[in-house]
Amino acid sequence: MSLSAYTAEEVAAAAAVLARQGIDGLELNLSCPNIEGDGHLFAANPRAAAAVTAACRAAVSLPLWCKLSPVAAAPADIAKACEDAGADALIAGNTLPALALGENGAPLLGAGAGGLSGPPRKPVALRHVSEVSRASTLPVIGCGGVATLKDALDHFNVGAKAVAVGSATLSRPTAMVRLIDALADWTLAKQTSGAVVQEGRARLGTPPETTPTTPLTKTPKTPTTPLPTMASTESDHPVARARKALA
């Protein structure tokens, strides 16, 4: 569940209400404006980001994932502040401020400016993931321009532990299912769970993983073999239905 509000107290209060509904975790969207910071983003400075995270940490015991902004002046400081305040993971990051005009010169969006997402944001996202993962020991979820296997691997190479897929699903609703399949095939083909990623992290100066990896054994694929990352093997699960439609 993604959550934001205008003050740290409002975010914490909403988090407490949602926790009673039985959700599994919370994404704190620190990329939204807040009243206490004169309309600036919570993620614009370490103090504001830490205040929201700490308030929610005191209110709930749920996992807290802090969604950071790529336009923050000091992303490393923001990441460390969230970690020290009790975050469990970091999401790097969100859309970029942008403006699109129609043929008549008027903004295409009713509010005027908006957020740029999709493939054009990937280079910025990779820089953001790289800086955040170096500054924090928390898991980092890469977010920005992920549509293909190459996109996901690029995020992993700069330190991401997982990736988020957003805009790609608007043009291809099955994008996430296809990416899961591609990652599974790539991992089996490499016969290792991390050698290529470790090589990329080493080139970037990112601390290598300390946990030894276990080589995977390739097994023949069958139409009935579920992906290891699927939430359920039930035939009526949305991912299972999507995969069946693609077969």
Compute how many other C-beta atoms are within 10 angstroms of the C-beta atom of residue 43. 29
23 versus 209: the higher-pLDDT residue is 23
Query: Residue 73 pLDDT more than 90?
Result: no
Average pLDDT score, the chain = 82
Q: How confident is the model at residue 189 (pLDDT cuts 50, 70, 90)?
A: confident
Residue 143 is among the residues annotated as catalytic for this protein:
no
Residue 193 has pLDDT above 70, yes or no: no
Q: Is residue 87 pLDDT above 60, yes or no?
A: yes
pLDDT at 42: 87
Tell me which of 32, 56, 66, 82 is the catalytic residue.
Answer: 32
% of the chain beyond a pLDDT of 70: 74
pTM: predicted TM-score of the whole model, two decimal places: 0.75
pLDDT tens per residue across span 201-246: 565 565 555 544 444 333 444 443 343 343 334 455 555 555 555 5
pLDDT for the residue numbered 194:
55
Highest-confidence segment of 71-80, 83-92, 115-124, 174-183: 83-92
Q: Coil, helix or strand for 27?
A: strand
Higher pLDDT, 40 or 95: 95
**What confidence score (pLDDT) does residue 53 get?**
96
**What is the rounded average pLDDT of the residues 18-40?**
79
pLDDT band at 31 (very low <50, low <70, confident <90, very high): confident
pLDDT tens, 120-160? 999 999 999 999 999 999 999 999 999 999 999 999 999 99
